[in-house]
Amino acid sequence: MYRAHVYWGCPTHPFIEIETIHEGFASPIRAALFANGCCLPAGPETLHLGADGAMLEFLGKSDVSVRELLAKLVVWQVDRDAPQRLAFVAAPKDDEELAELELEGRYVPSRYAITGPSGPVEVRFTLDRENGLQAAAVSPVAANPPQGKGR
C-alpha cells in the first residue's frame, strides 16, 4: 500500500508546516492524484486547525475530521535559515494535544510526497491540452529527493 503525505502552510504560522499522512492507496499514482486534488470523489483542499481539532475540507465536499479519516498529523518547524530543512515538533495523539500547540488557522497545501513499501516514490504526470491527464511515470526516489509541488 502507498501513502500520500500532504504538507500544509498557514500565513499566520509561517515557520510551521503540518503534514497529514493518508494511507491505503493501491498505487503511487492514486496517492499522487489524491494529494493533488485530482481524484474522485475529491482531494483535500484546506486544513482547518481550531478548537474542534483538525478538519479537512475536500474539493466539492464538506469538512471531515482528520481523525475520522484515520489520517496521521505531524507538526514540523521550518528552519528559518534553510527552508528545505524541517525539525520535528509533535505528532499529537488527539485533538486536545493539538489544541495545546496553539496553531489555529487555515492551512493550504504547499507540497506533497508519496511513499510505498520500499520508501519514497516520485510520480510525474503528463498533461495533454486536448485529452487531459495522459500518463504517469513512477520511479523510486534517490537520497535527498526534491519534494513534489502542490497544485
pLDDT per residue as tens digits for the range 52-82: 788 888 876 666 766 666 678 888 888 878 7
Mean pLDDT of the region 124-143: 71
Q: How many degrees, rounded to 5, is the angle at CA 26 between CA 20 and CA 31? A: 35
Q: Which pLDDT band, with edges at 50, 70 and 90, does 116 fall under?
A: very high
Q: Which pLDDT band, with edges at 50, 70 and 90, does 17 fall under?
A: very high
Question: Is the model's pLDDT at 151 over the cut of 60?
Answer: no
Mean pLDDT of the region 37-52: 78
Question: Is the model's pLDDT at 133 over the cut of 50?
Answer: yes
Q: Which pLDDT band, with edges at 50, 70 and 90, does 41 fall under?
A: low
Which residue has better confidence, 139 or 83?
Answer: 139
What total number of domains does the chain contain? 1
Domain that holds residue 39: 2-149
